[in-house]
Amino acid sequence: MCFSAGARFGASAVLSLIGTAAIIKSRTIPQGLFAAITFIFSIQQLAEGMLWLSFTNAGLEAGQPFFTYTFLVFAMMLWPVWIPLTIRLMEKDSRRKRSLNVLLGIGVLVAIGVGCVLFLYNVQAISAHHHIHYKIDFPGRTRSLIVPFSLLYFIATIIAPFISSIKRMKWLGFGFLTSYLFAIIFYSGFVVSVWCYFAAILSVVIIWVLSGVQKSTF
């Protein structure tokens, strides 16, 4: 499977339309913030599409760091906070809210940690085998934190939909989980780029989730 600029731009265009429609149809602020996930994914895909072009277009080469950091801020800092936050805001059950508060706290911790890494260490996007690998020059001791932070990212981002009492929300969780495992197994070394692409496409499930929430309010 080839992940090119065209694939990213195509996904961005479709997701922007779907995301805009979802936001317009939202009836509450929490629903609007949840619906915005799809639209934000469209911006993220646009950033990586531009990054793809910068590898072959000399005129865009200077913008490569901007495209790289834009994508990584969305992928590694925003989602572990935004996903549990928006699901928590839509949750009605008090016990589940407390659990989601814990995941949100974990997500904030991950975002702060990743932010420090992106600020302190050199980050480079490398095109290889039709995929993008994001190389971060971790010093020796810092490398030991990669696995724990990856696990915390997983907990905050992928577990949150399973905690929600909203019936259809679990299908979003299954989609994120399946695509994450697929990326790890078949695209090792390119997980950040590949999983975010699949997760972006799967975010259209958000429309279905919201329609179920809105029907239940009648």
* CA dihedral of residues 75, 95, 148, 175 (deg, nearest 10): -50
Whole-angstrom distance, CA of residue 70 vs CA of residue 24:
26
Is there a contact between 176 and 199 (Cβ–Cβ < 8 Å)?
yes
127 bridge partner residues: 132
* Strand, coil or helix: 199: helix
* Strand, coil or helix: 132: strand
**pLDDT value of residue 92:** 92
**pLDDT value of residue 217:** 60
126 bridge partner residues: 133
Which letter does DSSP use for residue 129 in this model?
T
Consecutive sets of 10 residues in the chain, 218 residues long: mean pLDDT of each?
A: 72 89 91 93 90 89 92 93 96 95 96 90 84 81 80 93 92 89 80 76 83 72
pTM of the full structure: 0.89
**pLDDT value of residue 183:** 82
**Contact partners, residue 98, CB within 8 Å, separation at least 6:** none
**Contact partners, residue 154, CB within 8 Å, separation at least 6:** 180
**pLDDT value of residue 1:** 43
In the block, tokens 């195509």 appear at 10
**Contact partners, residue 124, CB within 8 Å, separation at least 6:** 68, 134, 135, 136, 137
User: Which candidate, 55, 46, 50, 53, places its Cα nearest to that of 15?
Assistant: 46
212 phi/psi in degrees, rounded to 5: -65, -40
